[in-house]
Structure 1
Amino acid sequence: MAANNAQLESSSTQEGPVPNLISTLRSDNKDQLVSLLTLDPLSNSLSFTYQGEDDDVNLPVAHKTRLVFATENLRSLLTYHTLADETVKSQANMKKAQGQRRGRSTLSSEEESLGIVRNNPYGIVGTRILFPNPRDDQDRHASDVSNDTIGLMGTGSGTEAVYNPTSSRSMFSNDDARDETDGANVVVYFIYPKISHIQAVSKAIRASSHGEAFSRITKHRIVFLPRITSLSKRILMDEKITKRKDVAVHALDINVIPIENDVLTCLEMDATMADCYVHSTPSEPITHVAQSLRKVQDVCGTIPRIQSYGKAGEMVLDRMMALRLEEYDPYDIDAQEQDEQETNPEIKAAIILDRMIDCVTPLVTPLTYEGLLDDLINIDAGIIKIETNILSPPEEASEPSGAVNSSNSADVERPKYMHLPLNDLDKLYVEVRDQHVEKFGSFLQQQALALKASHTNFSDKNKDLSEIHQFVKQIPIFTKNLKSLTNHINLAELVKRNSEQTEFRQRWETERSMIESETCYDTIEDLIASQYPPFRLLRLLCLQSLTNGGIKTSRYDLLKREVVQTYGYEYLFLLQNLEKMGMLKKRETFFDTTSSFATIRKQLALIQADVDPSDPDDISYVSSGYAPISVRIVQTAVKGWSGKEDVLRELPGRGVDIIQRSPPEDFLTAVRQKSGSTLDVWATQSVEKEITRIEDKPVLLVYYVGGVSYAEIASFRFLSRRMNFPYQVVICTTKIINGSSFIRSLK
């Protein structure tokens, strides 16, 4: 039986559970983006409609375009995941395209690694970043990572620098000398409807009006994603931008982007939790999520069964049903008939999760290969930015990669970085990404031995010409696999070195003690005294509060004062935001009481100390014994809450279970009606044939409002491969997060 189950697990399709959804979204997103990029500079409206395959675009546009993105994250989403072709995304074709470059090019190697090739039909001559990612030196503390990894993320002031097109030696950190030589006459700004983004773009446009280098620019395009708001229009008017004849304002209805075959993102919005629970302005993110959910259903069909957990999850469900009701036309007979005949939607059920129901999991250190890479290097929309010396280490080096002598830092050559995609196109990465830290090293060793055996087999002198010809045809694939294996071996060595450090082990043991409701106040005080990296420290502080029902008042005031005195007064505002979120709170009572986390831990069996990471039988392997709360909630919701109602009472917000009917109903009407069977019974009722393969299982969409961690993604993939779980899981999220990025987003 075990062998049969293993065979079933390995047979999951590489195309993903919903190939039609993924291909349709990618095609639609690309069509919208291309139609904007190929728009005539003298036009102010999106009158051009891109049609046909990429091969049909033979003539490049007449104008040259410079793209300016709000963040590096948004650049990755719109260039690599939206604009680039699948064939260009592979490393081999990228190298080939770079090798064919002749003469001067304004494109950097980083831009080419994101899928932008020279002589592209869209006239792109380069990209810039409006708000470069903060490089917080304090968060790259020597006690946090080894000397070999100090240079991974670069260095900087940690402040939010702004792109300035007028000076290569100004106070702004992301100036680019190419602004004066790239020949661009159209500048396109891709931004979110945020006040800071609009003001920064307005400043850049006004600055570009001065100087001879920018006199050739004929059009500035401000593009809002996914839509422009009334407040955005008002700010543009106040900034006196809308009156300029050389400025056009657009909106692209791109609100959900596939970054894996089973993972979709709603534009990687990093401020969702802050908007909902700190600033009390949930309208925008909730509307964006609801619209993305409607778009998914436009492609896959109306999802018949939807559950939500948490306040934000309920708001999304309410807004999504309101949008469906607004779009319904009682006089459109054809649409009604089509809706009534829709009996086989691609997605059978959905669960919407508010991140607030599980703030613990992102704070816990993951122990899978992908999770550790993100925790150490930061995976940005499926892409890591890493020093070239780490992937291609020099044979002889006097100093470890990334180590910088502070006394001679001005004389040291700045490290070179490259973008490395980590996604389904890398078949080796697909196999290794969800493996535990104790397993992926031996797995990569086996892959290396297999490649060596393949090469040794060819060395046999008794090969005939047909066998030699067959091997030669396999050389490109062999070279690609070898390059991928080399990259992941170097990355795995980096991860292993850091995971084997004493500091890493102590951090994991402290987290486990907190999860088991032990108090670690003295440990936290010692870490503050040693100037532990601030966001690492805040992760432990919040974890202590969440797992123990708060921190004793006397200890809380002391710890808060020490944090501010050690790291600076600016962290006082972050601490206040964490208090508003409920991630930090005082425990006023003098007597120890059972926390809500303790109840959830017991009822959902979060701790599984005997799990085998090398051959796991439970999702708790992702952190060596701790199962993510949100994934346990989905597991329980599928089976039904009978006997575990105490968990629902401890969760913030309430659980909602509705069936979407035709004609559409409003939210309150749907809630009042009985939903009927549990989701596991619903799964068996939704398929007509016997389930004997992974591909036969129906699809469950799990939507995280506020972000999902790689530990949770690995857990859902594990469940999808198990035949005792009735669904294949597709994950949609507002952003992929880790503990540090989660806390940083609340600033």
Structure 2
Amino acid sequence: MPLEQVKRLQRNGSIEHEISIFWVPRRTLVSNTILEEAGIIGDVNIAEFPLYFMPLEQDVLSLEMEGAFSDLYLHKDPGCIFHSAKALMDIQQRHGYFPRIIGKGDHARRLADLLLRMRKELDAEESSGLAGVSARGLLPSASTESLIIIDREVDFGTPLLTQLTYEGLIDETVGIKNNQADIDTSIIGGAATVPQAQESSKGPQQPSSSKQHQKRKIQLDSSDQLFSQLRDANFAIVGDILNKVARRLESDYESRHSAKTTTELREFVNKLPSYQLEHQSLRVHTNLAEEIMRTTRADIFRKLLEVQQNYAAGSDPTYHHDAVEELIARDVALPAVLRLLCLESCMSGGLRPRDLENFKRQIVQAYGHQHILTFCALEKMQLLQPRAPTNPTSLLLPTTTTTAAATGGSPHHHQHSTSPRTNYNTLRKTLRLVVEEVSEKDPNDIAYVYSGFAPLSIRLVQCVLQKPYILSLARGGPVAAPTQAPAPASATTSSPGWLGFEDVVKSARGATFSLVQKGDDKAVRARQTISGAPAIKTVYVFFLGGITFTEIAALRFIAAQEASRRRIIICSTGIVNGDRMMEAAIETGRLA
């Protein structure tokens, strides 16, 4: 512990040390109490380091808050909402206020309210002369179009599905943390070979059995050009991409035989290092893809995927209960079984009480009585619930809808009752979540990421950014590039917020809002006269509670289609998947 190290230095050190403690991302009353109880608060320099977004990629910013999902939905701790607001406020202080804040979900609404409150506080500091130089004269950003906030609980179903993109499957099978994955060297081989003389100088050789279980850390980001091609592709076509790259590399290597002049030979030698790097990357990803393929071809995986896709398509879940019971009897990993039950609960409005009690009894008997607490946690997170014994139309209650014109951050809003659960049965039709004719090789819709199922969370983003296309889909129009879809006169791409989809989004749980942040009209007009309006503006899409790699792939697909009009920056509290959601609830201790 750092505090113990400080005490040891004070007690045993012959040299006087100047010790500083930096709290990340902020200093709190609790942190002060910890230092007071340790008896060192007066002996150290204390400061805070406001580390907010970590750039995982040029288009992905993450707060890397591993516990955000469990804090928000299990422990009901709103700390990550405040942290998210501070991070987004930091962006506003650098680039100007978000002209419009659009969102869905109760926690998303709280985050938007915090942003408005922080703006008021900043305006008050500016009027009193206390604001810093960077915060003075802030206006709505000329380079930003909007901020879209999606609360994870609006769409719990999507992350419970097994991800089918290459990067998503890597995360599902071996796990990705901070753009890195620890892969067994028996799969991808070791790092650069160490000369034998150096190995012998390091000491005795380790047994070969231990070497078989060594891990190698590989970097998974855009610095690897091959991974950039593979990451967002559906795994079904990854083999074709790898084959094409292998043939091209072979052709590049063979080109040395056709080199006749010294200039041509020099060009080949100059390109050789890049060829070698690409060849090494090809070997790693080919071996990794083969290992993933062994997993996806396993009987258990195929059965899990079949049940998941049937739930996503809206088939009667009771037809698949025998398959779930078989998986329990075969002692399949508990997170995989719980994902199926939670997926049914989320997409079907809960399980029949009789079926839920039956599954609880089987799981407790098969995996341990401590999982009575696991079921309590899942119910508290509203991931696994009994079906409400009320009229099915109760699921169609209108959600909170807010339309605000926030002049100086003061919204005027109108609210209605809130839907307790997301009604996937309705949204599956109104937003065309199931797309049977999607192509995985040459996709024309985001549904390719789940081989025919469009993530609800990303469809909601499309309701804001690609209105004509989604309206066309909802009316039974063809699945085509949004620029090719017919655009109704009543809903153009310039329609703000949720306009045109007010009734549709009522079927998703939580508040619906669209807030406009205005500035001084004269100052705004003066800036537009001087600098003009940029041709391409930025849209920030923030996922509160976590985002999956597959959803990132779907957003990148939209970004590629919208590249001529806008740039999309993906932000989140962190990366999640179905297993991590289950691990947040699973009780690890054993009952005596």
Tell me the TM-score normalised to structure 1 length. Answer: 0.62
Pair 1:608-2:438 in alignment:
no
Three-state SS of the structure 2 residue aligned to 1:657 is strand
C-alpha distance in structure 1 between counterparts of 2:427 and 2:532, whole Å: 33
Residue 49 of structure 2 corresponds to 252
Residue 376 of structure 2 corresponds to 576
C-alpha distance in structure 2 between counterparts of 1:319 and 1:276, whole Å: 16
- Equivalent residue for 1:652, pick from 505, 509, 519: 509
C-alpha distance in structure 1 between counterparts of 2:343 and 2:304, whole Å: 12
C-alpha distance in structure 2 between counterparts of 1:662 and 1:202, whole Å: 47
Residues 368-383 of structure 1 mapped to structure 2, 5 A cutoff: 368-383=165-180
Residues 336-735 of structure 1 mapped to structure 2, 5 A cutoff: 338-340=137-139, 344-345=142-143, 347-392=144-189, 412-413=209-210, 415-460=213-258, 463-515=260-312, 516-519=314-317, 520-589=320-389, 596-638=423-465, 639=467, 641=498, 644-662=501-519, 697-723=536-562, 726-735=565-574
After TM superposition, give the deviation of residue 263 of structure 1 in Å.
Answer: 0.4
CA pair 242-717 structure 1, distance change in 2 beyond 3 A: same
Pair 1:275-2:114 in alignment:
no
C-alpha distance in structure 2 between counterparts of 1:697 and 1:459, whole Å: 47
After TM superposition, give the deviation of residue 725 of structure 1 in Å.
Answer: 8.8
Structure 1 unaligned segments of length 5 or more: list them: 1-199, 395-409, 665-685, 690-695
Three-state SS of the structure 1 residue aligned to 2:22 is strand
Residue 324 of structure 1 corresponds to 119
Residue 674 of structure 1 corresponds to none
Contact 1:336–1:663 under 8 Å retained in 2: no
Contact 1:434–1:714 under 8 Å retained in 2: yes
Residue 474 of structure 2 corresponds to none
After TM superposition, give the deviation of residue 257 of structure 1 in Å.
Answer: 1.0
After TM superposition, give the deviation of residue 274 of structure 1 in Å.
Answer: 2.7
Residue 231 of structure 1 corresponds to 30
Contact 2:100–2:146 under 8 Å retained in 1: yes
Contact 1:606–1:629 under 8 Å retained in 2: yes
Residues 80-229 of structure 1 mapped to structure 2, 5 A cutoff: 201-202=2-3, 222-229=21-28
C-alpha distance in structure 2 between counterparts of 1:466 and 1:663, whole Å: 63
CA pair 505-220 structure 1, distance change in 2 beyond 3 A: farther
Residue 418 of structure 2 corresponds to none
C-alpha distance in structure 2 between counterparts of 1:554 and 1:742, whole Å: 25
C-alpha distance in structure 2 between counterparts of 1:286 and 1:543, whole Å: 25
Contact 2:190–2:216 under 8 Å retained in 1: no
Residue identity matched to 2:331: Q
Residue identity matched to 2:73: Y
C-alpha distance in structure 2 between counterparts of 1:529 and 1:617, whole Å: 40
Identity %: 30
Residue identity matched to 1:632: R
Residue identity matched to 2:27: I
Pair 1:743-2:546 in alignment:
no
Residue identity matched to 1:699: T
Three-state SS of the structure 2 residue aligned to 1:474 is helix
After TM superposition, give the deviation of residue 625 of structure 1 in Å.
Answer: 0.6
Residue identity matched to 1:652: R
Three-state SS of the structure 1 residue aligned to 2:518 is coil
C-alpha distance in structure 2 between counterparts of 1:336 and 1:241, whole Å: 35
Contact 2:548–2:577 under 8 Å retained in 1: yes
Pair 1:242-2:99 in alignment:
no
C-alpha distance in structure 2 between counterparts of 1:518 and 1:475, whole Å: 57
CA pair 530-308 structure 1, distance change in 2 beyond 3 A: same
Listed one character per residue, the Cα deviations across residues 409-458 of structure 1 (whole Å, up to 9, x for unaligned) are x9931522222111111111111111111111111111111111011011
Residue identity matched to 2:334: P
CA pair 573-221 structure 1, distance change in 2 beyond 3 A: farther
After TM superposition, give the deviation of residue 482 of structure 1 in Å.
Answer: 1.4
C-alpha distance in structure 1 between counterparts of 2:18 and 2:301, whole Å: 52
CA pair 207-337 structure 1, distance change in 2 beyond 3 A: closer
After TM superposition, give the deviation of residue 618 of structure 1 in Å.
Answer: 0.6
- Equivalent residue for 1:304, pick from 69, 93, 99: 99
Contact 1:517–1:548 under 8 Å retained in 2: no
Residue identity matched to 1:634: V
CA pair 331-579 structure 1, distance change in 2 beyond 3 A: same
C-alpha distance in structure 1 between counterparts of 2:536 and 2:297, whole Å: 39
C-alpha distance in structure 1 between counterparts of 2:570 and 2:66, whole Å: 17
Contact 2:99–2:141 under 8 Å retained in 1: no
C-alpha distance in structure 1 between counterparts of 2:580 and 2:180, whole Å: 16
Residue 201 of structure 2 corresponds to none
Residue identity matched to 1:661: K
CA RMSD of aligned residues (A): 3.1
Pair 1:313-2:112 in alignment:
no
C-alpha distance in structure 1 between counterparts of 2:118 and 2:51, whole Å: 17
Residue 51 of structure 1 corresponds to none
After TM superposition, give the deviation of residue 249 of structure 1 in Å.
Answer: 4.1
After TM superposition, give the deviation of residue 728 of structure 1 in Å.
Answer: 2.7
Three-state SS of the structure 2 residue aligned to 1:413 is helix
Contact 1:687–1:698 under 8 Å retained in 2: no
C-alpha distance in structure 1 between counterparts of 2:165 and 2:106, whole Å: 30
Residue 41 of structure 1 corresponds to none
Tell me which of the two structures has the higher relative contact order, counting C-alpha pairs closer than 8 angstroms and 6 or more residues apart: 2
C-alpha distance in structure 2 between counterparts of 1:593 and 1:335, whole Å: 52
Residue identity matched to 2:515: I
CA pair 728-225 structure 1, distance change in 2 beyond 3 A: same
Listed one character per residue, the Cα deviations across residues 439-480 of structure 1 (whole Å, up to 9, x for unaligned) are 1111111111111101101112x5101111111111221221
After TM superposition, give the deviation of residue 604 of structure 1 in Å.
Answer: 1.0
After TM superposition, give the deviation of residue 203 of structure 1 in Å.
Answer: 6.0
Three-state SS of the structure 2 residue aligned to 1:660 is strand
Residue 287 of structure 1 corresponds to 82
Contact 1:517–1:547 under 8 Å retained in 2: no
CA pair 602-206 structure 1, distance change in 2 beyond 3 A: farther
Tell me the TM-score normalised to structure 2 length. Answer: 0.77
Three-state SS of the structure 2 residue aligned to 1:700 is strand
Structure 2 unaligned segments of length 5 or more: list them: 192-206, 396-422, 468-494, 522-530, 587-592
Three-state SS of the structure 1 residue aligned to 2:210 is coil
Contact 1:381–1:736 under 8 Å retained in 2: no
After TM superposition, give the deviation of residue 217 of structure 1 in Å.
Answer: 11
After TM superposition, give the deviation of residue 289 of structure 1 in Å.
Answer: 0.1
C-alpha distance in structure 1 between counterparts of 2:15 and 2:327, whole Å: 55
CA pair 687-386 structure 1, distance change in 2 beyond 3 A: farther
After TM superposition, give the deviation of residue 366 of structure 1 in Å.
Answer: 1.3
Residue identity matched to 1:609: E
Structure 1 range deviating more: 375-384 or 524-533? 524-533
Contact 1:548–1:597 under 8 Å retained in 2: yes
C-alpha distance in structure 2 between counterparts of 1:590 and 1:319, whole Å: 35
CA pair 202-554 structure 1, distance change in 2 beyond 3 A: farther
Three-state SS of the structure 2 residue aligned to 1:587 is coil
